[in-house]
């Protein structure tokens, strides 16, 4: 199978004073990777953390957990090398934040990281398409980036379906308002990398939520491969 269901909790909604142990807890609850939201107060109206925090986190959780860095920053070129040195595995930048995506993709690869390309709700898939063969993952935002706990935008699903139809083996991630109530829509549309913040972290039983999300996505992937 070309792509797999992977669940990546967004630690934005966790107790940030205990980030290390929260990340370990998520991995122990069955997370496939960790989605780390970097915000600069400029590209989005909120502020989180940068590479010094990622470096500490890497030391605290060890070499195994996969760090998907969701870079909600202006001038994403600036942080490629520092993030790689800090232990990031994937650098997911916003198409809206750069004038030269091709060069940035090259720099991320040269720094030894995988490449994710994110689009905000107002950005079309036609704008992403020219880069799709050069990236590892496309991130379709299902809320306006900046805050956890927002309402899922169902009208983003045609974008996911279109990318899946054009690039059948590409990893497609959805982020924002995704949880047990909305996962079926994402899975049917063809998303396979699922970011979930408040629905996982805010639940008393994160293990069950992660497992449910993975089951729904795995079943949709299986169905698609049988239908082909
Ligand atoms: C929002 C962030 C998300 C956020 C998701 O800008 O990119 O990763 O933490 O949180 P929920 O799942 O609560 O929408
Ligand atoms: Zn995110």
Considering only CA atoms, give the Rg of the chain.
16
Q: Could you say which DSSP state residue 228 is in?
A: -
What is the model's pTM? 0.98
To the question of whether residue 208 is assigned a binding role by annotation, the answer is no
Q: Specify whether 175 is catalytic.
A: yes
What would the pLDDT profile of 146-173 be if each residue is shown by its tens digit? 999 999 999 999 999 999 999 999 999 9
What would the pLDDT profile of 56-70 be if each residue is shown by its tens digit? 999 999 999 999 999
- What does the block give as tokens for 121? 């709700």
Q: Is 175 in the pocket of ligand 1 (CB under 6 A)?
A: yes
Ligand 1 atom at minimal distance to the Cα of residue 35: 8
> 41's torsion region: left (phi>0), alpha (psi -120 to 50) or beta?
left
Residue 164 is predicted with a pLDDT of 98
In this structure, what is the dihedral angle of CA atoms 204, 173, 218, 135, given to the nearest 10 degrees? -140
Q: Could you say which DSSP state residue 9 is in?
A: E
Q: From 125, 170, 195, select the one nearest 2 (Cα to Cα).
A: 170
What would the pLDDT profile of 12-49 be if each residue is shown by its tens digit? 989 999 999 999 999 999 999 999 999 999 999 999 99
CA angle 28, 30, 32 (to 5 degrees): 115
- What does the block give as tokens for 86? 């800090």
Residue identified by tokens 């198409």 is: 95
CA of 194 to the centre of ligand 2 (A): 10
Ligand 1 atom at minimal distance to the Cα of residue 200: 12
Q: Is 9 in the pocket of ligand 1 (CB under 6 A)?
A: no
Question: How does DSSP assign 135-203, residue by residue?
Answer: -SEEEEESS-TT-SSPPP-GGGHHHHHHHHHHSTTSEEEEESS-STTTHHHHHHHT--EEEESHHHHTS
Active-site residue (options: 32, 40, 68, 175): 175
CA-proximal residue: ligand 1, atom 4 (nearest): 148
What would the pLDDT profile of 76-110 be if each residue is shown by its tens digit? 999 999 999 999 999 999 999 999 999 999 999 99
User: What are the C-alpha distances in Å from 166 to residues 2, 94, 160, 170?
Assistant: 14, 20, 10, 9
Q: Is 65 in the pocket of ligand 1 (CB under 6 A)?
A: no
To the question of whether residue 10 is assigned a binding role by annotation, the answer is yes
CA of 220 to the centre of ligand 1 (A): 23
Q: Is 177 in the pocket of ligand 1 (CB under 6 A)?
A: yes
**Three-state SS at 91:** strand
Q: From 146, 223, 227, 203, select the one nearest 7 (Cα to Cα).
A: 203
In this structure, is the dihedral angle defined by the CA atoms of residues 126, 191, 66 and 122, taken in order, positive or negative?
positive
To the question of whether residue 148 is assigned a binding role by annotation, the answer is yes
């Amino acid at each position: 199978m070309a792509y797999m269901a992977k669940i990546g909790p967004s630690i934005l909604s966790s107790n940030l004073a205990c980030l290390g142990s929260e990340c370990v807890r998520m991995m122990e609850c069955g997370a496939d990777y960790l989605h780390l939201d970097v915000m600069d107060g400029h590209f989005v109206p909120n502020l989180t953390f940068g590479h010094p925090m990622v470096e500490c986190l890497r030391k605290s959780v060890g070499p195994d957990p996969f760090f998907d860095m969701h870079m909600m920053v202006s001038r994403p070129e600036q942080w490629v090398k520092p993030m790689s040195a800090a232990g990031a595995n994937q650098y997911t930048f916003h198409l809206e934040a750069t004038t030269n995506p091709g060069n940035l993709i090259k720099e991320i690869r040269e720094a030894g990281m995988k490449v994710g390309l994110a689009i905000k709700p107002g950005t079309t898939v036609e704008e992403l398409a020219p880069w799709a063969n050069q990236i590892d993952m496309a991130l379709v935002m299902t809320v306006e980036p900046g805050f956890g706990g927002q309402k899922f935008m169902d009208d983003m699903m045609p974008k996911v379906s279109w990318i899946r139809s054009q690039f059948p083996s590409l990893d497609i991630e959805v982020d924002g308002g995704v949880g047990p109530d909305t996962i079926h829509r994402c899975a049917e549309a063809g998303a396979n990398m699922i970011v979930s913040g408040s629905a996982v972290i805010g639940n008393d039983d994160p293990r069950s939520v992660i497992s449910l999300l993975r089951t729904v996505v795995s079943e949709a992937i299986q169905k698609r491969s049988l239908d082909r």
